[in-house]
Structure 1
Amino acid sequence: MPRRPPLAEIDSTRSLDIPTEGAPTKKTSTKRRRTKRIALITLLVLALLAGGGLLGTGLYLRSVEGSIERVEAFSDVPEESRPQKVAEDAENLLILGSDSRDPENTSGSRSDTIILAHLSKGRTSAQMISIPRDTWVHVPATKDGQRGNRDAKINAAFAWGGFPLMVQTVESFTGVRIDHLVIIDFAGFQEIVDALGGIDIEVDQNFTSIHEPYRKFTTGQHHMDGATALDYARQRKQFADGDFARIRHQQQVIKAILDKATSGGLLTNPAKLNSFLKATANAVSVDKTLNIFDTATNLRHLRSENLTFITSPTKGTGRVGSESVVFPDKEKAKVFYDAVRRDAGAEILSNAK
């Protein structure tokens, strides 16, 4: 039987290819750089590996660490404008995402999905707080002073000033200091879901996709492959609450992926594990200060049942001039994000209702 190459020999500048038993390591082509990546799923799966007792897990994680694309997120954020850290042992990750292959996505310049992930002290729970992309907030000025410094939809911050202005805008809106940035591409869910063998989703109402091949979704539980799950997570125009429905569906897909990934079968199937990690770790992009090994190790006990999905408090939709926007409930948001800032778990959940 051929010798399995030590994981330390894996070329960390190339796509991660974890060898299965009896199969040599493949040399894979240099990864295609993408600006929108999958991140949270990979972190949690690597956390699963850290707690799963695999031989050489540390080398797996350190190999992944070396292959991850880094982005500059904080250097242009004025320190004097940033909130103070209150709960030192808790951590807040800003997750930005888009769907680069969405038929409706005519420009990649805005972030379609904004999630503030609050990881509690001890990493025993996490709150995934979705901020609607059309939330009407004050966007600070860009570093050169040429754009911003006015009220706008929150996702305009990314179009005007990239990651740093997005961080500054979210911190200004929430009062919560962001520790790290991760980026997620919902289009990449298709490969991830297929690598898992599909996921189970509870559909809450009948509707037909507006995209070819115009799938019909019916109420009840369905086993979805990657293309179907991605189509499901894209839909919004058929629902009375529009983008709020899409947020719920994206949250369902994230939870279903985590449920499937942590069900146990992944670790005992080398080929499936290899395929899954290639579909995720290859696509990760994070800020320059995030330590993947330490984060994954700290998250090793976190499972989907410990995740709570929340939408930032709003007063609903309306119009500002010609724009359709989401108005934040500033009073509720202040109380809610204060609880997040203090890592007051029970208060966070209570104030989210």
Structure 2
Amino acid sequence: MTGHKEGGDGVGPVGRRSRVLKAVGLTLAGVLVLGIGTAGWAYWHLNRNIKSVDIDSALGDDRPVKAVSTPSSPASASPLPSGALNILVLGSDSRSGKANAKLGGGDSSGARSDTAMVVHIDAGRTRATVVSIPRDTLVTRPACHTSSGGTTAVAYDAMFNSAYSIGGPVCAVKTVESLTDVRMDHYIEIDFSGFATLVDALGGVTVTTDDDIDDDKSHLHLAAGEHHLDGTQALALARTRHGIGDGSDLGRIGLQQKLVKALLAQISSAGLLTEPVKLYNVANAVTGSLTTDTGLDSLGELTKLGQSLKSLSSDEVTTVMMPVVTAPSDHNRVIANEPEASDLWASLK
């Protein structure tokens, strides 16, 4: 009888404790399984977001010599790369869709490269130089394959940004390598809506403008001074040209470079590693708008690149523009200013 009373419903103190612990254990196990499943889905989703182009196979061996890589960091389970890198970064309106159309992007058949930057990362990956190439630069555009399967002839005094319009990423890389005689190790392209979404995921970006900006075409009206911009405003700042200086692409490049440094500073201070949801939103914004070469077309490769740059601060990023002068044939266009331009590119080899 006594034994029965102690049990009550057939479970004594030890039995009740065991049942509670079992319930807690099952709950924790469920959360763990759910977390692993969510993480697995997130990885799959982010990885699937990334679009890529096999530029190395398309261009073959007729390219500038690849720089000799320095050894990776000291022996470890997963040594990170530490050699110098040259990455061609394009901002484009190449993706079709409502989001891009709303922000002023073109459709997939009318792609343009609005922004072109060669990002040089020094060996050791603690310093970087970002060189902007004005889209109005007249260049010799090499023969390129077109999406229809044909091949264009070599074009002299062609607009730099026509390379992307004619032959996409492969022609853009080929033209940059022809212009600079520098091998592009990687290619990264981000579209309009992706850039705006990235800025919003980061909580906006703070930029200081030196002059008033009054541009009806980009819908941007800012007084000189410090501004915290959302994604749409930041994109407008990157694209504006009619409300500053002489309305040329050269004035816009200065704003783009300010924006790049401000974004790097924002990413560094965003505390992404301690805010998983924010980290996911940023990663989703980035991968959802990216086209890369096949060397960077996985979340693992992008993560490894990012980890290798963890010691690179925005203070150690130098922004410059390729030296140019007004083109003799067209005062609305520019050409590389030699020998200054060649000297700059040679410093990045």
Q: TM-score, normalised by structure 2?
A: 0.74
The superposition leaves residues 127-167 of structure 1 with CA deviations (integer Å, 9 ceiling, x where unpaired) of 11111111111111125543334331111122222222221
Tell me the residue number matched to 2:40.
Answer: 9
CA contact (8 A) 1:72 1:163 kept: no
Which residue of 151, 157, 164 maps to 1:158? Answer: 164
Are the counterparts in 2 of residues 200 and 221 from structure 1 also a CA contact under 8 Å?
yes
Q: CA deviation at 1:211?
A: 3.6
Q: CA deviation at 1:324?
A: 2.9
Identify the range of structure 1 (96-105 vs 149-158) with the bigger mean alpha-carbon deviation.
96-105
Identify the residue that residue 97 of structure 1 maps to in structure 2: 91
What code does the residue aligned with 1:335 have?
D
Larger RCO: Structure 1 or Structure 2 (Cα < 8 Å, ≥ 6 residues apart)? 1
Gaps of 5+ in 1: 17-63, 342-353
Equivalent position SS for 1:330:
coil
2:132 aligned partner: 130
Identity of aligned residues (%): 35
Cα distance in 2 between the residues matched to 1:113 and 1:251: 11
Query: Structure 1 residues 188, 246: closer, same or farther in 2, change over 3 A?
Result: farther
Q: Please, which runs of 5 or more residues in structure 2 have no aligned partner? A: 1-26, 70-82, 94-99
Alignment pair present for 1:270 and 2:261: no
CA distance in 2 between counterparts of 1:137 and 1:220 reads 36
d(CA) in 1 for partners of 2:274 and 2:42? 25
**Number of aligned pairs?**
288
User: Which residue of structure 1 aligns with residue 66 of structure 2?
Assistant: 85
Paired position in structure 2 for 1:115: 117
Q: Does 1:220 align with 2:225?
A: yes
The reply to whether residue 301 of structure 1 matches residue 311 of structure 2 is yes
- Once the two structures are overlaid, the 10-residue window that deviates more, 260-269 or 194-203, is 260-269
Kindly provide the amino acid, as one letter, of the partner of residue 257 in structure 2. Answer: Q
Residues 1:329 and 2:337 aligned together: yes
What SS is found at the alignment partner of 1:5?
helix
- Alignment CA distance shift 1:220-1:158 (3 Å): same
1:87 Cα shift? 4.7
Q: Alpha-carbon deviation of 1:13?
A: 4.5
Structure 1 match to 2:260: 254
Q: Summarize the alignment of residues 183-222 of structure 1 with structure 2, pairs less than 5 Å apart.
A: 183-211=189-217, 214-222=219-227
The DSSP-based 3-state class of the residue aligned with 1:340 is: coil
8 Å contact 2:105–2:192 — kept in the other structure?
A: no
Q: Does 1:240 align with 2:270?
A: no
Counterpart contact for 1:147–1:160, Cα < 8 Å:
no
Contact 1:93 1:179 in 2 (8 A): yes
- Whether contact under 8 Å (1:191, 1:279) holds in the other structure is yes
TM-score, normalization by structure 1:
0.73
CA distance in 1, matches of 2:270, 2:104: 35
**Map of 2:295 onto structure 1:** 289
Q: Is the 8 A contact 2:209 2:225 kept in 1?
A: yes
Instruction: Compute the displacement of 1:215 (Å).
Output: 4.3
What CA distance in whole angstroms lies between the structure 2 residues aligned with 1:215 and 1:9? 41
The alpha carbon displacement at 1:124 in A equals 0.9
Give deviations 1:274-320, integer Å, cap 9, x for gaps. Answer: 322222233222111233243223222222222111111111x3463
One-letter identity of the residue aligned with 2:311 = H
SS in 2 for 1:188: helix
Match of 1:320 among 302, 305, 329: 329
- Greater C-alpha Rg: 2
Name the CA distance, whole Å, in 2 between partners of 1:8 and 1:223.
Answer: 32
Counterparts in 2 of 1:219 and 1:340: CA distance versus 1, 3 Å: same
For 1:70, the aligned partner's letter is S
The two structures, once aligned, show a CA RMSD in angstroms of 2.5
Q: How does 1:24-103 map to 2 (within 5 A)?
A: 64=47, 67-80=49-62, 82-88=63-69, 89-99=83-93, 100-101=100-101, 102-103=103-104
Higher deviation after alignment, 263-272 or 296-305 = 263-272
